[in-house]
């Protein structure tokens, strides 16, 4: 098991991305080249999902869709409050999860329900910062290192730990990836993880009608936005008083104590509002 502290220690001579590539090579017996090529396929899948989502897609149920297209139009015709890069990352995140809801192909990072966060962020940054292909792949490996650490110490499943385990983990992954490609230190990557997770702690998983649409799609947009902010905070030198691994363990404890009605069962939160119940009835009957 790789903790964030162990990742930081190992990465002081290299980077999060290099550490996890070496780790995967040892565990799987594959070469670095094979591992790199697999991540390239993941990146291609992410890019394709974003591009498809931006054309305007609707879910099978018809209860979600085309919001990425709306944000794209808004961005072109308005001066946004949150800034161009934030809106683009949110737009891309929504696009990805709208493709998921339309039964399209996405790359689970770390889950299908949170697939838009990393995809949304990396697609925005490659445009705005003219990232090289190598930088994009390194972003994904650094993000993957964080995801592995969280999965080993806590959970990345909404059914186990609530949405804090899905959107929270995805946001922490994206934030650490941003810090790495920006030239931040391994310690700053760790602070980015901690700052992100402490601000998603307690987030419940309450999908309306049990489907990964409402509020899941829009939560990916919020997760992408949070990743940008916490990456900037860490790069600015802001440190988390609580170490990342302790934050992960605290999240795990919160998830274990969280009532089952708030863990992907559609028995609480937005799923049991009058409108949420009406949608459920329309789809599945009483």
Range 76-91 average pLDDT: 96
C-beta of residue 15 within 8 angstroms of C-beta of residue 138: yes
CB neighbourhood size of 185 (10 A):
16
pLDDT for 285? 87
pLDDT average, residue stretch 64-83: 96
* 286, pLDDT greater than 90: no
Q: In angstroms, rounded to a whole number, what is the distance separating the alpha carbons of residues 87 and 102? A: 22
Task: Answer whether residue 1 shows pLDDT above 90.
Answer: no
pLDDT at site 137: 98
pLDDT above 90 for 241: yes
Please count the structural domains in the chain.
Answer: 1
Span 130-163, pLDDT tens digits: 999 999 999 999 999 999 999 999 999 999 999 9
**What are the structure tokens assigned to 129, written together?**
């910062």
| Per-residue model confidence as pLDDT tens digits over 188-239 | 999 999 999 999 999 999 999 999 999 999 999 999 999 999 999 999 999 9
Is the pLDDT at 34 greater than 80? The verdict is yes
- Per the structure, the complete domain to which residue 161 belongs is given by 4-284
Q: Kindly tell me if the per-residue pLDDT of 240 is higher than 80.
A: yes
């Amino acid at each position: 098991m790789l903790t964030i502290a162990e990742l930081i220690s190992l990465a002081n001579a290299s980077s999060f991305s290099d550490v996890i590539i070496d780790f995967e090579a040892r565990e799987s017996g594959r070469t670095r080249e094979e591992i790199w090529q697999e991540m390239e396929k993941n990146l291609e899948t992410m890019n394709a999902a974003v591009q498809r989502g931006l054309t305007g897609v609707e879910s099978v149920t018809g209860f979600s869709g085309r919001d990425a297209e709306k944000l794209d139009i808004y961005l072109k015709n308005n001066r946004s409050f949150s800034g161009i890069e934030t809106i683009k990352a949110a737009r891309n995140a929504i696009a990805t999860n709208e493709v998921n809801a339309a039964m399209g192909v996405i790359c689970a990072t770390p889950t299908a329900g949170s697939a838009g966060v990393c995809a949304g962020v990396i697609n925005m940054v490659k445009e705005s910062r003219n990232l090289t292909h190598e930088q994009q792949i390194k972003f994904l490996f650094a993000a993957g290192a964080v995801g592995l650490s969280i999965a080993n110490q806590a959970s990345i499943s909404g059914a186990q730990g609530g949405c804090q385990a899905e959107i929270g983990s995805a946001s922490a992954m994206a934030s650490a990836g941003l810090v790495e490609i920006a030239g931040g230190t391994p310690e700053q990557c760790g602070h980015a993880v901690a700052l992100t997770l402490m601000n998603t702690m307690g987030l419940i998983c309450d999908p309306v009608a049990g489907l990964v649409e409402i509020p899941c799609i829009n939560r990916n947009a919020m997760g992408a936005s949070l990743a940008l902010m916490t990456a900037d905070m860490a790069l600015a030198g802001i440190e988390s008083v609580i170490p990342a691994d302790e934050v992960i363990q605290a999240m795990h404890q919160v998830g274990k104590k969280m009532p089952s009605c708030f863990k992907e069962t559609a028995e609480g939160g937005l799923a049991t509002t009058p409108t949420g119940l009406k949608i459920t009835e329309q789809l599945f009957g009483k």
